[in-house]
Amino acid sequence: MSRQICLILLGPPGAGKGTQAEILVEEKGFLHISSGELFRRNLENETELGKKAGQYIDAGELVPDEITISMVENRIREIDSGTDFILDGFPRTLVQAKALKEILADYDPDVDEVVLYLHVPYSELIERLTGRLTCRAHGHVFHKKYNPPQEQGVCDYDGSELYQREDDQLETVKNRVDVYMEKTEPLIAYYRERGILLQVDAGQDVEGVASEIESKLEKKQW
Ligand code: ADP
Ligand code: ADP
């Protein structure tokens, strides 16, 4: 029997992590865990966690490690044994990456930790993010130009309203990309050294990226 996979999607905001995660959910049955979505659900439901995280998210800053790690840890503990899962947007700092290693060892030492690094030229990111449309109900993503919904303003998957995230405005987007460079980029070297990093050219169109991911995962080239 093959081992349970924890697939970490690493890459700057706008690289296509959420988009590719949805494809892997549909085609391979992965469970999708997005730290950004977990935060947005808490914000909507006005939980204590949401109140603590909101100010950071609005400013395009990272939510402090302590808050983020315990939120994701609680979610991972709920996963049924044997279910392959995707972590989208977590970890984003070295402290988080090291904490994840411990969390997984505690959850099940046999889980295979694999990292997909979605590499995209910086110049692409701003346009992808400022044109992004997100669905209210489940966070499905579309793009005004590159991936428009069939009906304007309506999610293809669940019929809910599409909106522009507050933090997808130009000024906040620029800050989020800067924060990524400073805090998250060092994870590439960290995972490369551990020998579990797979790099994908995410500057292609959505289908091109998906097929490169599929073939690299099949060949287990990490
Ligand atoms: P992330 O989760 O990494 O922030 P998303 O998956 O939300 O990225 O994608 C950001 C935006 O770019 C969305 O509007 C999405 O529709 C669009 N997008 C995703 N992948 C591509 C691609 N390969 N080419 C063009 N646009 C893309
Ligand atoms: P994107 O898909 O554009 O990369 P996310 O939806 O993953 O954005 O995250 C939105 C915001 O939620 C981030 O800008 C940050 O404020 C917060 N956030 C999400 N994941 C983390 C994390 N692992 N650590 C700290 N903050 C996070």
Q: Residue 53: nearest ligand to its CA?
A: 2
* Sequence spans of domains, the chain: 5-121+175-219
pLDDT, one tens digit per residue, over 165-181 is 999 999 999 999 999 99
3-state secondary structure at position 106: helix
Q: What is the pLDDT of residue 122?
A: 87
Backbone angles phi, psi at 12, to 5 degrees: -65, 165
Q: Which amino acid, 197?
A: L
The pLDDT tens digits for 15-68 are: 999 999 999 999 999 999 999 999 999 999 999 999 999 999 999 999 999 999
Ligand 2 centre from 167 Cα, in Å? 10
Question: Given a cut of 80, is residue 2 above it in pLDDT?
Answer: no
The DSSP 8-state label assigned to residue 20 in this structure reads H
Residue 177 is predicted with a pLDDT of: 95
Pocket (CB within 6 angstroms of ligand 2): 13, 18, 35-36, 39, 56-57, 60-63, 68, 89-92, 96, 167, 176
Q: What is the mean pLDDT of residues 175-201?
A: 97
Q: Whose CA is nearest to atom 3 of ligand 2?
A: 13
Nearest CA to ligand 1 atom 13: 132
> Could you tell me which of 14, 11, 9 has the C-alpha nearest to residue 127?
14
Catalytic residue among 28, 75, 165, 183: 165
Give the span between the Cα atoms of 8 and 72, in whole angstroms.
Answer: 13
Q: What is the CATH number of domain 5-121+175-219?
A: 3.40.50.300
Instruction: Give 10's pLDDT tier (boundaries 50, 70, 90).
Output: very high
194 catalytic per annotation? no
Q: How far apart are CA 104 and CA 16, in angstroms?
A: 25
Q: Is the pLDDT of residue 1 over 80?
A: no
pTM: 0.96
Given the structure tokens 């800053």, which residue do they identify? Answer: 61
Cα separation, 18 vs 23, whole angstroms: 9
Instruction: Give the residue from 208, 190, 5 showing the smallest Cα distance to 94.
Output: 190
